Amino acid sequence: MCGRFTIAPEIDFHERFGIPGGPAIPPRYNVAPGQEVPVIVRGERNRLVPMVWGFIPPFPKGPGAGHPLINARAETLLSKPAFRDAVRGDRCLVPASRFYEWRRAGARRVPFHIRLKNGGVFSFAGFYGTRRDPVRGEIPAFTIITTEPNRVVAPLHDRMPAILPRGKEESWIRAGPVGTADLRGFLAPYPEEEMEAFPVSARVNDPRSEGPDLIRPLPGVEKQVFLPPGD
């Protein structure tokens, strides 16, 4: 799954995503479900829309009905009514620079941040709809799609967020239906050779924690990249 991520926009963030210039986006180092972040959608042109993390299907059924969904499995997007309509028409890019996963070490769970080796901003594949806020009424909300993990993420979790190759971002948010074969092309595990992971401070466990210290490798492991089994 993906339950926490960071977004630290670079100087060319708007140009990177084909968005008309706008105000600088403040960095966030511990985005958690229920919080609001900028998400990219397509109209006549790409635009940034503040959205809350946690989509609620319009016609929820079964256990957990009515609860915000922060993740959706790539393999069931077109078979579950809760996701199907949004995936066919309301797809989005969720900009990020890192995400977190946890590894069990005895009684403790050690957080790791996972990033691209080039340190750049990337985008999760997502879809969006609305949810009702008791104060603001109907507000836009999004879900991050997950896929099978690559060998960097697999030691930490059995799922990983679907990171879109840069060349496929515009196709993902372009209006129009997608089929099963299309989804396989978009939502494959990101190439492991382009990613790395480091253990970081347990402060990230508290969603109220913020600041660049959350992504610093633990003391003594600055140069120790977390390697998957077999390396």
- Whether 226 contacts 112, CB under 8 Å: yes
Residue located via tokens 């958690």: 32
Q: What is the pLDDT of residues 92-108, one digit of tens each?
A: 999 999 999 998 877 88
Best CA proximity match to 41, nearest among 95, 106, 119 = 95
Q: What pLDDT sits at residue 224?
A: 44
Q: Is the Cβ–Cβ distance between 213 and 201 less than 8 Å?
A: yes
Specify whether 196 is catalytic: no
Quick check: 200 pLDDT over 80? yes
pTM beyond cutoff 0.95: no
Q: Which domains does the chain have, with CATH numbers?
A: 5-19+30-199 (3.90.1680.10)
Distances in Å between the Cα of 81 and the Cα atoms of 22, 77, 88, 138, 163 are 36, 8, 11, 21, 23
For residue 139 the two structure tokens come to 């507000």
The neighbour count for residue 101, using CB atoms within 10 Å, is 24
Per-residue pLDDT of 22-49, as tens digits, reads 788 899 999 999 999 999 998 778 999 9
Query: What pLDDT was estimated at residue 63?
Result: 46
| Average pLDDT taken over every residue of the chain | 86
Q: Give pLDDT, residue 223.
A: 43
pLDDT exceeds 50 at position 5: yes
Percentage of the chain surpassing pLDDT 90? 55
SS3 92: strand
**Which is catalytic among the residues 101, 169, 170, 193?**
101
pLDDT of 229 above 60 = no
Q: Quick check: is 15 catalytic?
A: no
Out of 2, 75, 193, 222, the active site residue is 2
The closest of 16, 8, 11, 17 to 45, measured between CA atoms, is: 17
